[in-house]
Amino acid sequence: MRRAMADAEVGDDWYGDDPTVNRLQKRAADVTGKEAALFVPTGTMANQIGLRLHFRGTGHLVVAEADSHVATTEVMTSAVLAGIAFRPMRGDARGQVTTDQVAEALEPDEYYDVEMIDLLAVENTHGASGGNVMALEDLRAYRKLARDRGVRVHLDGARIFNASAASGVDVADYCAEVDTMMFCVSKGLGAPIGSLLCGPADLMPEARRIKILVGGAWRQAGVLAAAGLVALEEGPGRLREDHARARRLAEELVAIVPAGVDPASVETNMVFVDTAGAGMSALEAVRRLAAVGVGATISGGRVRMVTHVDISDDDVETALEGWRQIVAD
Ligand SMILES: Cc1ncc(COP(=O)(O)O)c(C=O)c1O
């Protein structure tokens, strides 16, 4: 990947003439089955452009699961950049909602005629619940409900390749059910930076305009696109290894952290650990793990560990040893 970056042919992406960026965009469109794609620095920017493309006006609403990235981490960005407010739906432990919840959330405001729903935003895999996979049939059902109401659908597919590796559903099949989608080459796929917003060709000039508007015209970005191309080529095929390592980590943690993990809940590359049974807070656990050389973060009050291209079997052993130490201390 470093070699590909060093050798990358570059131009100026503001003018749309960076050949490596253009190749990555073409490849992303092909893989997702969309007409066009736009390479941007972050998943947040890709989501924000996606939301804004469909958003018709300040004071309108986007329907999304309450813990989804757009409705939590991006809630202020959405308000500031586009005047978006959310109508949240409370998902289950896997971050999934029922079709009844979606139908209710999309219900037109017949009494007051004030609440306008412009968009349904979905997330697959669902990050905050632990990297859980959305069933294709559910996405189809949401899509039908949205279409019946004249509402478009945007997919935050930051980790859609993990969803695909776990479910066996082709990425393009998920993408066929939504108007726009984004995925990150920077997460499980292993590139250092970058995300792609994918959708219909007629939306791309406006998407490009918004990207430039928010300072995303990143000049000779081909150096990064080259990494994205390698990630897209080599990444998807090895995600199952990450999933197997996450599962192993969870299975072994059962004997280390009392009532800490349910291995069956590990569907992709994330392991969430409840530390209450070990008599410590998540914050304390993360600090103590860091002190023994194990990196972890906190999500929803639990310790969050993620396997990826740079995590080997030995690293899983190191993590398990770290947990043994902090629980024993
Ligand atoms: C589901 C989801 N969407 C979007 C993002 C945003 O990606 P980025 O960190 O590249 O802005 C993240 C980041 O973790 C995420 O988990």
pLDDT, tens digit, 9 for 90 and up, residues 77-129:
999 998 999 999 999 999 999 999 999 999 987 777 788 999 999 999 999 99
Residue that has been written with the tokens 């999309």 in this structure: 106
Residue of the nearest CA to atom 13 in ligand 1?
A: 43
Altogether, the residues listed in the chain come to a count of: 329
SS3 18: coil
Count CB neighbours of 277 within 10 A: 13
Query: In 10 A of CB 164, how many CB atoms?
Result: 21
How many angstroms separate the CA atoms of 247 and 249, rounded? 5
E strands present in 6-126? 36-40, 61-65, 85-89, 117-123
Q: What is the pLDDT of residue 112?
A: 75
Model confidence, pTM = 0.96
CA-125 nearest atom, ligand 1 = 1
Position 221 scores a pLDDT of: 98
Backbone phi, then psi, for 327, in 5-degree steps?
A: -75, -35
Per-residue confidence (pLDDT) for residue 108, from 0 to 100: 81
Kindly give the parts of the chain with pLDDT less than 70: none
Ligand 1 pocket test target in 184, 185, 298, 299 with most atoms within 8 Å of CB:
184
Whole-number pLDDT of residue 246: 98
Count Cβ neighbours within 10 Å for each residue of 194-229 and write b for 16 or more, e otherwise.
bbbbbbeeebbeebbebbeeeebebebbbbbbbbbb
Residues 64/70, Cβ–Cβ less than 8 Å: yes
Q: What is the DSSP letter of 197?
A: E
From the CA of 195, give the closest atom in ligand 1. 10
Distance 109 CA to ligand 1 centre (A): 31
The answer to whether the CB of 61 falls within 8 A of the CB of 90 is no
